[in-house]
């Protein structure tokens, strides 16, 4: 049951379509990133979006009002008091995600997986069902440009990957934990950059479990980093993370003042300290890697496929080949 503190803002019907792939986002002032994020997930086959807004003032709600596949909710409650959005996420997933494969992401995140360029997410989910998996873990890959963050200007009509195409190929390390999925991954550009200047910096967790066949009573525990026990796939997908655009410094100043993010916005404070010390912040180095495709990430060990999935992809491609040839004739 949805509490009175969460208001639904749209009147679009929500059809009961078996097998519909659904996405859930909690957002605040995301008009710059949301258009590209919605386009990306539609392109891979997400069919319906549930977006909870937490006090946007930048036109985010107006943008969403024109999206026919988006259902809009709003709350004025404290983000921190809502366990950094986890409480709201679990409520909406129980209400609208039960029985569906659901993708829980942020507005600056884009979910990818081996062969995502050619294989829609419904086929991936059918494979996971066949394998008996209820969830798919991911590596969160921070993306950045070859310019200073302040100069990384993004056009909302463009793809985010065209604005921020680079990433750190390593090092990354996995640490065993007691909560599902029983590991967390650390490393990447934020650890590299912030730890070099701030010895007390606590590295962010760069693993998530965003894709889940949701059932009522499941719970995310700490963002989508951990959840109540489910059977996870041995595959490892990816989430491309587009935080570092030209608006980031202003967002940092705002969030440090609000103190609504985890540990009183600890990571935002680290970035603010870094920018005050160095003046300008950029992440590009000679070791930065330009993103190409999912096969590249599998080859680098940043995503992981498995033989049965690869065989499923080959069978799907073979079945589609005559149809594609007929269509091109």
Are 289 and 166 spatial neighbours (Cβ–Cβ below 8 Å)? yes
Which two tokens mark 45?
Answer: 């086959």
3-state secondary structure of 179: coil
Q: Strand 109-112 and strand 48-53: pairing?
A: unpaired
The pLDDT of residue 151 is above 60: yes
Rounded Cα gap, residues 36 and 24, in angstroms: 15
- Per-residue pLDDT averaged across 211-230, rounded? 97
What is the Cα–Cα distance from 158 to 24, expressed in whole angstroms? Answer: 22
* 325 is a domain residue: no
Q: Which domain holds residue 273?
A: 7-315
Residue 1 lies in a domain: no
| Residue 321 belongs to a domain | no
Answer whether 168's CB lies under 8 Å from 265's CB: no
- CATH number of the domain residue 97 falls in: 3.90.550
pLDDT band at 276 (very low <50, low <70, confident <90, very high): confident
The domain tally of the chain equals 1
User: Is the N-terminal amide bond of 181 cis, ω within 30° of 0?
Assistant: yes
* Residue 80 placed within a domain: yes
Q: How far apart are CA 43 and CA 117, in angstroms?
A: 9
- 97 part of a folded domain: yes
Res. 263 pLDDT band, cuts 50 70 90: low
**Is 194 within the bounds of a domain?**
yes
Query: Does the pLDDT at position 329 exceed 70?
Result: no
């Amino acid at each position: 049951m949805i509490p009175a503190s969460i208001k639904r803002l749209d009147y679009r019907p929500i059809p009961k379509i078996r097998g519909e792939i659904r996405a859930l986002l909690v957002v605040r002032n995301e008009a710059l990133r949301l258009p590209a994020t919605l386009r990306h997930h539609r392109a891979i086959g997400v069919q319906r979006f549930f977006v909870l807004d937490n006090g946007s003032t930048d036109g985010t709600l107006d943008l969403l009002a024109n999206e026919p596949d988006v259902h809009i909710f709003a709350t004025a409650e404290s983000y921190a008091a809502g366990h950094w959005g986890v409480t709201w996420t679990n409520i909406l997933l129980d209400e609208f995600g039960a029985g569906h494969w659901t993708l829980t992401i942020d507005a600056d995140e884009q979910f990818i997986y081996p062969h995502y360029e050619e294989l829609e997410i419904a086929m991936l989910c059918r494979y996971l069902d066949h394998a008996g998996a209820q969830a798919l873990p991911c590596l969160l890959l921070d993306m950045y440009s070859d310019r200073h963050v302040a100069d990384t200007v993004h056009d909302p009509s463009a793809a985010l990957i065209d604005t921020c195409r680079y990433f750190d190929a390593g090092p990354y390390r996995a640490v065993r934990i007691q909560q599902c999925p029983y590991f967390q991954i650390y490393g990447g550009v934020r650890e590299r950059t912030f730890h070099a200047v701030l010895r007390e910096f606590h590295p962010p967790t760069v693993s998530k479990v965003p894709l889940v066949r949701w059932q009522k009573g499941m719970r995310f525990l700490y963002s989508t980093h951990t959840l109540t026990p489910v059977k996870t796939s041995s595959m490892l997908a990816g989430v491309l993370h587009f935080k570092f655009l030209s608006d980031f410094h202003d967002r940092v100043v705002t969030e440090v003042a609000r103190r609504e993010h985890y540990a009183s916005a600890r990571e935002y404070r680290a970035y603010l300290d870094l920018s005050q010390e160095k003046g300008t912040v950029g992440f590009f180095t000679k070791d930065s890697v330009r993103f190409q495709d999912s096969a590249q990430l599998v080859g680098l060990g940043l995503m992981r496929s498995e033989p049965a999935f690869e065989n499923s992809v080959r069978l799907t491609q073979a079945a589609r080949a005559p149809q594609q040839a007929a269509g091109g004739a």
